[in-house]
Structure 1
């Protein structure tokens, strides 16, 4: 089953916005990654390194509010209509692939579906109705679940 989460884009004030949302909804940040945390951070100007690459806050049972700072140095701009994505978490790589392929038909692939440095199978697209989507499958969680699944016992006679 797919889980849907809103993903918000900000003009450099993601941290301020999410501290506000945290004061409203309570809880703790599930993830807080800065652009300085990425492997090729050297290509990002020093004044943008402390900006938020990804943040996540649980705001209810099964709902996670996520966000990022849009970096001007990477050609990102935020305007009404492109300041959010619908982010889908899938149960498998196959489900992610099928959904991504179906949603992108007649639309535009913004980031191909691929394995990422943060341990996900992830891609971004704009569908034919100009809605922005993120499709994600957590490969690290999948590995944890597989490690916890007891293997079938075999007996030899």
Structure 2
């Protein structure tokens, strides 16, 4: 299992991740804009996003040493703050178990389900008001 900080920006994710890569000596290893996302059940794709946000970052990943930092440009409702903990697990069963455990007494924002990038992904805010994502990535 990996715990990965996920930073939420308001249109500045590309610039911020480039800054962090330079400052930390890392590399931005992936970046996807909202306009490049395929439509997916429950996830905002390019058809659901306001036109002015299509060039905002839907996902960016910075790697430095053995550490990973992820980020995106909203959409954010302001609840829970601007940092989310992303839990990356190795199996669908573990993803569903961890998601259910963290969601107990909390609020599910995006039910755990298959997406175009993950066998399982979901978002929640735990009973203490902290935002989480659970990911079980599809094999490369």
Instruction: Give the alignment's TM-score, normalised by structure 1.
Output: 0.79
- Counterpart in 2 of 1:144? none
How far residue 30 of structure 1 moved from its aligned partner, in angstroms, is: 1.9
Deviating 4+ runs (over 6 angstroms): none
- Counterpart in 1 of 2:71? 67
Higher Rg: 1
Q: Note closer, same or farther for the CA distance 1:120–1:28 as it changes in structure 2 (3 Å cut).
A: farther
TM-superposition CA deviations, 1:27-47 (whole Å, max 9, x none)? 322210000011231232222
Whichever structure has more strand as a proportion of its residues is 2
Whichever structure has more helix as a proportion of its residues is 1
Tell me the distance in 2 between the aligned counterparts of 1:117 and 1:138.
10
What is the RMSD computed on CA atoms of the aligned residues? 1.5
**Does structure 2 retain, via aligned residues, the 8 Å contact 1:10–1:78?**
no
Aligned residue pairs, count: 134
Instruction: Give the alignment's TM-score, normalised by structure 2.
Output: 0.88
What pairs with 1:53-132 in structure 2 (closer than 5 Å)? Answer: 53-61=58-66, 63-71=67-75, 76-78=76-78, 81-132=80-131
Relative contact order, higher structure (CA 8 A, sep 6+): 2
Runs of 5+ unmatched residues, structure 2 = 40-45
Runs of 5+ unmatched residues, structure 1 = 142-157
